[in-house]
Chains A and B, each alone.
Chain A
């Protein structure tokens, strides 16, 4: 399996439309979400019977598909300002909830512009879609466990 850096730095990665596809067979990856960071937000929990972490996960999972769609569409249309904005936004919430790989890919996407080859951008977007799906599955599993 290729590492994150190998994929993002590999000039030939674009020849494979799903560079990390083999990993999907293993299902939810343990490194998709930094659970320690996510669980740290328990200390902000209110005494009102709610579960802050479940609420944060729900908000994140509702928001992510739109952000990823924005990123994909902006990359296809080479709308760099829109791409940077959507990637910046997703980077912020992902980083805070411990979804580090998505945050790292977004950071790379934020730096993309007309000087980067369309293939490089497309590869990163595909990687984002893959990592985002993995992270979302991991978050959904955390949510399920918390709700018992």
Chain B
């Protein structure tokens, strides 16, 4: 059993899908991921992220902005939760909205974490640490 878990952990891809139409946010999140030796696969809007997800499911996690052109973060979560090959990937939402209802909507749609903007570097680091740590627990729960 220990061996199987070890192999699962080893085969877990060190790639994270990042979708945000804000270049500053994309760069911040990408830099944070690089620090943790993760590769960021970057999408500039929701549609681009959707297209990537149609052919690629090898992600340890996904980080989406709530408000993006074409497809919003919530749309992406709902799509991922409806696809067997994507439904185990933990998702974090980032949003400048302070509305508690939106946060609740994210969690009920299937987000594992929610990071409101503006955030400090510490808050970003903690959220990403939690998200990437969540990957293995989500897999176990699924």
Which residues does A use to contact B, with CB under 8 Å?
A: 37, 40-41, 43-44, 46, 52, 55-56, 59-60, 62-63, 85, 88-89, 91-93, 95-97, 103
Contacts and interface: CB of A to CB of B under 8 A. Distances in A.
Please report whether the interface of chain B is mostly helix, strand, loop or mixed according to DSSP. helix
Bin the interface of chain B by size.
20 to 34
B28 A88 contact: no
Contacts, number: 62
A50 to B, nearest CB: 9
Chief secondary structure at chain A's binding surface = helix
Nearest to B69: A85
A93 B27 contact: no
B31 A46 contact: yes
Contacts of B125: 44
Given A41-B121, A44-B121, A95-B118, A52 B24 contact: no
B121 A59 contact: no
Given A41-B121, A46-B34, A92 B22 contact: yes
